[in-house]
Structure 1
Amino acid sequence: MAAAIASFTLVGVWVYWAGVGTLHALWKQLAGKKQRDGMTSEAWKQLGMTDPFLRMLERYKVFDSLHLPMGSFHMRLLLLMENGWTIEQSKKQAAGALGMGYAALTACAWLSFLGQEPLLLVVGAIFGIVLALRPFVEAGRKVEQRKQQMIIELPGMLSKLMLLVGAGETVQQALARSLEGKQVNLHPLYKEWSEAVSMLQNGQSFNTAMERFNRRCSVQEVSVFTTVLLLNYRRGGEHFVLALRELSYTLWEKRKAIARSRGEEASSKLVFPLVGILLVLMILVAAPAVLLMS
């Protein structure tokens, strides 16, 4: 009985928030194969999941009530996405995640009703909550990975920069030549470094380019690096190299610490497959003895 009530209620709530316009657009897409083939999965998600729940969240001012979590989520997406990412796009991401969770809950509710299995309703609720919260967790995980990637590569770039400046290059020329042979679009540090170099080549001041580079990276170690650059880049030569060398020691130690932590994480992740293999081997060894005894 509970599954039946939940099934019809969930569908009714979605129909109410989807509205006549959304339902009409979905019907038109379903009416013809040519139209249906021309509509991408992202468009289906936008029309059937994101828009209805975005209207609902804005109607009840949920974003205003959760401005701190949404602000944190938006800042993480701002780091991960391209320039020009807006708060409206972050709201759509959150609404789409809620729509995915709601769709999973609705599907499990109908399966529970049709199969007369109440446990599926509980599973659907858990699955829906996980899907709704997944983008927030994923954004935090990706930001942490981005931070670690930058810290790992920064000491190498710093060493190259010191060598070039020590060989007689100016700081701006050394910044540009440090990227030679690097795949800029495949690493966040190289990408932000390249944008800073482009700003310098386009006539922007060194202070402006480095401040933007620091802001876009949003990593403490990069902030220390840019501060040292801004304080010493006019001096050049040995003074500049000595200032960077002191910073280099600290960055290499942090890189070693991250490498050790990653190795520990990898070893801990291997525990579960090894336990599974051990259980399978125990079954294979014990099964013949059990069958002979029976």
Structure 2
Amino acid sequence: MIAIPIMLMVAWLFIIGGKRLRTISAASRQIKRNQDALKHLLFIEPFSELLERSRLYEYMALSLSSYHAKLVILRGIRWQLQQTKEQLGGAAGYGYAAMMGCAWLACAAGEPLLLAMGALLGLLLPVRQLLEAGKLIKQRKQEIILELPEMISKLMLLVGAGETALQAIGRCLEGKDTTQHPLYKEWNKVVYSLHNGESFSTAAEKFNRSCAVQEVSIFTTVLLLNYRRGGEHFVLALRELSYTLWEKRKAVARARGEEASSKLVFPLVGILLVLMVFVAAPAMLLMS
């Protein structure tokens, strides 16, 4: 059984290549201080090149483009295709390292089942990257839909109180988290662009593309059509949109509540089984 982990180790060294191994040994002190550089040399760069040489990226072009589009939404429009390939290569490298670690454990413990678990883990890690992006996109969309009606309501109040549309746009960020929440993070970019002299239409279009949510697209269209009018026309246009968005917010909140309740079913079933064992065990012992 020891032949399998040795073969995996030799194959890993071959994938890394002699040039990178010499680079690692020559700059070992600096690399120890920079763990990211070590991970890049051992896992990300060699496995990304391996996937490139094996033309696997070409065979999975549709999946790669879909995954890249999701990462562009999550990471920003400056995210490049090469970065997506490196991320997939890193996932493949970490999966290979997990498989190799399980192979050594299986050899040490004499348990072949660990080898099978390592192979399964090595395959699941890259696939997990693709599935995780879809979940993050869905979560991001829900967060935007939940917060958008509240922002529109604040915008209506400020404009109705006599402020101009551009002034109200800036004040909508007061007391909000502009670093973590996706809606206010993108809205902060709009305010920053306007302060730098960019036209409102250009900033709004960038906001629409960055959010990539249908409700935001409708909101952006309403803004572009009515922000110059201001006053009652602007407030009435936003109020009509607000009714629809509040209903969608309620639907998203209900969906989240149903998901949370369904997730609680499995722990409750487990607890019920444990209670049944505790209750039935004494009765079974007395009967015996």
> Given the alignment, which residue of 2, 26, 38 partners 2:33?
38
Q: Distance in 2 between matches of 1:139 and 1:108?
A: 27
After TM superposition, the structure 1 stretch with the greater mean CA deviation from structure 2, 221-230 or 63-72, is 63-72
> Given the alignment, which residue of 17, 20, 30 partners 2:18?
20
Alignment of 1:41-120 (within 5 A): 42-82=36-76, 84-120=78-114
Deviation at 1:144, TM superposition (A): 1.1
- 1:214 lines up with 2:208 in the alignment: yes
- 1:9 lines up with 2:7 in the alignment: yes
Q: Percent identity?
A: 57
Q: Deviations over 1:122-170 (max 9, x none)?
A: 2122111111111211111111111110000000001111111122211
The one-letter code of the counterpart of 2:126 is A
Alignment of 1:52-201 (within 5 A): 52-82=46-76, 84-201=78-195
Q: Distance in 2 between matches of 1:45 and 1:37?
A: 10
Unaligned runs of 5+ in 2: none
8 Å Cα contact 2:155/2:169 also seen in 1: yes
Q: Distance in 1 between matches of 2:32 and 2:2?
A: 33
8 Å Cα contact 1:14/1:52 also seen in 2: no
In the superposition, the TM-score normalised over structure 1's length comes to 0.91
Q: Deviations over 1:214-237 (max 9, x none)?
A: 011111100010011111112222
- 1:240 lines up with 2:225 in the alignment: no
Structure 2 partner of 1:266:
260
Structure 1 partner of 2:246:
252
8 Å Cα contact 2:76/2:210 also seen in 1: no
Deviation at 1:27, TM superposition (A): 4.5
Q: Distance in 2 between matches of 1:284 and 1:70?
A: 51
Q: Distance in 1 between matches of 2:280 and 2:16?
A: 57
Q: Deviations over 1:73-122 (max 9, x none)?
A: 22222222256322221111100000111111222233334433332222
Q: Count residues in correspondence.
A: 288
The one-letter code of the counterpart of 1:166 is G
In the superposition, the TM-score normalised over structure 2's length comes to 0.92
8 Å Cα contact 1:165/1:237 also seen in 2: yes
Q: Distance in 2 between matches of 1:204 and 1:25?
A: 46
Local SS of the residue matching 1:270: helix
8 Å Cα contact 2:31/2:37 also seen in 1: no
